[in-house]
Homo-oligomer: A and B are copies of this chain.
Amino acid sequence: CFCLYLRSSAFSRFKSLAIDRPVNYTLRMSTTNDTRERIIEAAKSRFHNRSYADVGIKEICDMASIQKGSFYHFFPSKRDLVLAVIDEFAEDWANGFVAEAFDPALPPMERIDYVIDAAFFWQKSSKELNGHIPGCLFGNLALEISTQDDVLRAKLNAVFTSAKDRFKETLDEAIELGAISPLDSELTAEAMLAYLEGMILFAKAENDPEVIYRLGPALKTIRIESSAH
């Protein structure tokens, strides 16, 4: 499973609260109360499987078994919620999907293959649960709200950039080992990530995870040459 929700979220809460609170206070927070986490967990799942605009606060509260007043005790607005959801999901992603796919023990170009596998199994297992492929939460949100909220857009961009960096490291390593001929690793990394999002978009549109296996082989063929100096 790609989700290390409990571990990662408990850690992040501890970290953020420890800054300006006494230690024993922080311990209480991180051990007993989980309402905030339940809200985020509920929102994460709904936003991922439907859309930001389509999911209401009431529905999230019902799913987390709390009242609306409690929600606004933890989040000033729906927008602040989705901001937190992106943060948490990015952490899940980095610790789960990305960490698993970009395993440093693997030869660099095999990691790229592994990204395809990871994406396939993720979407496939989601489909088995809900009947529909949810796609990539970041891609979904990026297309839904990029024109409407520049702060959210920037946050999503940051997530993409850190994912792109993983591709770039891998490509640089592959070049160094002579596994591939030199290229512009920065741009090629971005291109590969774009292709990955495109594949997932098609898989979602066809509601068929096999699309990822069909189109996957092209990922490693993507190249952008270094520009001449």
Q: Give chain B residues whose Cβ lies under 8 Å from the Cβ of A142.
A: 201, 204-205
Residue of B nearest to A186 (CB): B214
For the complex, what is the distance from the CA of A190 to the CA of B218, rounded to whole Å? 10
> A107 contacts the other chain (Cβ, under 8 Å)?
no
- A197 adjacent to chain B (CB < 8 Å): yes
How many residues of A are counted as interface, with CB atoms below 8 angstroms from the partner's CB atoms? 50
Stretch at the interface among A6-14, A108-116, A145-153: A145-153
Dominant secondary structure of chain A at its interface with chain B = helix
Complex contact B135–A202 (CB within 8 A): no
Q: In the bound complex, do residue B147 and residue A144 qualify as a contact, i.e. CB atoms below 8 Å apart?
A: no
Chain B positions within 8 Å of A132 at CB level: 146-147
CB-based contact B146/A144 at 8 Å: no
A205 to B201 Cα, complex, angstroms = 15
Number of copies: 2
**CB-based contact A215/B198 at 8 Å:** no
Instruction: Check A187–B215 contact: CB distance below 8 A.
Output: yes
- Asked if A64 is at the interface (CB within 8 A of a chain B CB), the reply is no
CB contact between A147 and one of B53, B134, B157 (< 8 Å): that residue: B134
Among A27-74, those with CB < 8 Å from B are: 49-51, 53-54
Q: How far is the CA of A138 from the CA of B51 in the complex (A)?
A: 16
Among candidates B139, B191, B194, residue contacting A143 with C-beta atoms closer than 8 Å: B139
Chain B contacts of A225 at CB under 8 A? 217
A216 to chain B, nearest CB (A): 9
A-B contacts, 18 of them at CB < 8 A, read A51-B144, A130-B147, A134-B147, A142-B204, A142-B205, A144-B144, A150-B207, A153-B205, A160-B205, A190-B202, A190-B214, A191-B215, A194-B195, A194-B215, A197-B202, A198-B198, A218-B223, A221-B224
Residues of A within 8 A of B (CB): 49-51, 53-54, 130, 132-135, 139-140, 142-148, 150, 153, 156-157, 160, 187-188, 190-191, 193-199, 201-202, 204-207, 214-215, 217-218, 221-225
Among all A-B residue pairs, the 6 with the closest Cβ atoms: A198-B198, A194-B198, A53-B53, A132-B147, A191-B218, A142-B205
